[in-house]
């Protein structure tokens, strides 16, 4: 009976996360398609083909309903496609993705679609001209740390308080309130990190803050998992 109760609770939590996932605003996809259309009409540049292929890959990854989880390398690849498309939309920023150590392949299971909302927050809410976004993935013994930082406009103290309160709130009923005070994307990220690792006795960790030099930094810490939740080979790195 206890196992059944735990199973039902896990399924309930997963359904809530899936609901958030499909509510995340898809407008950037439509806007990007429209941008590509006008690029094709007015220019005929070869870069259009690159953008279209990136969009196709991202759509396939994000809309694939075959699995709730992926691995870190696939998630990084999808995040790279997303940033390329945002640059197509005339956002003037640069980005780097690096691994520590450089030769590492981070093929550990992770909830799908948890990096793009963080990047979207940086671009949409913290954007400034010539902004740089840096993504660093670090091996931390039994954990993997994903750090996403930018030198943009930063985040208000009030919003930081709301995000921290949400992340620390264990009351699921309170979290069902429809205000989405921190944004659907970050809700999805925080809930996914909590729910995904229940069976291994650990919990993914999320933190956000302003950098002293300006901009925002987000750190995501996830436990290394292996075959028990991994249903596909790691993407070629």
- 214 pLDDT exceeds 60? yes
| Beta bridge partners of residue 96, listed in sequence order | 134
Burial class (CB in 10 A: 0-12, 13-18, 19+), 31: middle
Q: What is the mean pLDDT of residues 17-41?
A: 68
| Cα 184 from Cα 217, distance rounded (Å) | 19
Mean pLDDT, residues 182-192: 88
According to DSSP, residue 231 is labeled -
At 189, the pLDDT band (50, 70, 90 cuts) reads very high
Give dist(CA 168, CA 129) in Å, integer. Answer: 34
What would the mean pLDDT of 198-213 be, rounded to a whole number?
87
Look at residue 235 and tell me whether its pLDDT is greater than 80. no
What's the confidence (pLDDT) of residue 21? Answer: 63
Lowest mean pLDDT among 20-29, 61-70, 91-100, 155-164: 20-29
How far apart CA 85 and CA 117 sit, in angstroms, is: 14
Q: Is the pLDDT of residue 14 over 80?
A: no
- 3-state class (DSSP) for residue 84: helix
Lowest mean pLDDT among 77-81, 94-98, 169-173: 169-173
Would you state the pLDDT for residue 55?
A: 82
Determine the Cα–Cα distance for residues 16 and 72; give it in Å rounded to an integer: 22
- When pLDDT is averaged across residues 94-105 and rounded to a whole number, the result is 93
> Which of the four pLDDT bands, split at 50, 70 and 90, describes residue 6?
low
CATH of segment(s) 2-229: 3.30.565.10
CA gap 36, 51 in Å, rounded: 8
For residue range 40-91, what is the model confidence (pLDDT) as tens digits? 777 777 777 778 778 878 877 876 655 667 999 999 999 999 998 888 776 7
Residue whose pair of structure tokens reads 């870190």 in the numeric block: 72
Decide: helix, strand or coil at residue 217: strand
With a pLDDT cut of 90, the percent of the chain lying above it is 39
In which band, very low, low, confident or very high, does the pLDDT at 205 lie, cut at 50, 70 and 90?
very high
Residue range 28-42: average pLDDT?
74
What letter does residue 235 receive in the DSSP assignment? P
CB-CB contact of 237 with 102 (8 Å): no
pLDDT score of 178 = 46
Q: Write down the pTM of the prediction.
A: 0.75
Burial level of 62, CB count in 10 A (0-12/13-18/19+)? middle
Q: How far separated are the first and last CA of the chain, in Å rounded?
A: 44
């Amino acid at each position: 009976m206890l196992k059944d109760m735990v199973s039902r609770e896990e399924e309930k939590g997963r359904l809530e996360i899936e609901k958030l996932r499909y509510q995340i605003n898809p407008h950037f996809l439509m806007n990007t398609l429209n941008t590509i259309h006008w690029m094709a009409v007015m220019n005929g540049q070869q870069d259009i083909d690159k953008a279209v292929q990136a969009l196709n890959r991202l759509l396939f990854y994000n809309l694939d309903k075959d699995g709730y989880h992926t691995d870190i390398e696939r998630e990084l690849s999808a995040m790279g496609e997303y940033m390329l498309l945002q640059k197509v939309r005339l956002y003037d920023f640069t980005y780097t993705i690096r691994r520590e150590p450089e030769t590492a392949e981070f093929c550990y299971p992770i909830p799908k679609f948890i990096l793009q909302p963080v990047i979207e927050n940086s671009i949409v809410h913290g954007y400034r001209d010539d902004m740089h976004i840096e993504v660093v993935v670090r091996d931390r013994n039994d954990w993997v740390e994903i750090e996403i930082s930018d030198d943009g406009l930063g985040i208000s103290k009030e919003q930081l308080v709301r995000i921290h309160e949400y992340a620390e709130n264990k009351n699921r009923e309170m979290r069902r309130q429809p205000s989405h005070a921190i944004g659907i994307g970050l809700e999805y990220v925080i809930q996914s990190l909590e729910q995904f690792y229940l069976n291994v006795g650990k919990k993914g960790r999320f933190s956000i803050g302003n950098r002293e030099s300006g901009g925002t930094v987000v750190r995501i810490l996830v436990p290394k998992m292996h075959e028990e939740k991994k249903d596909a080979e790691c993407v070629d790195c």
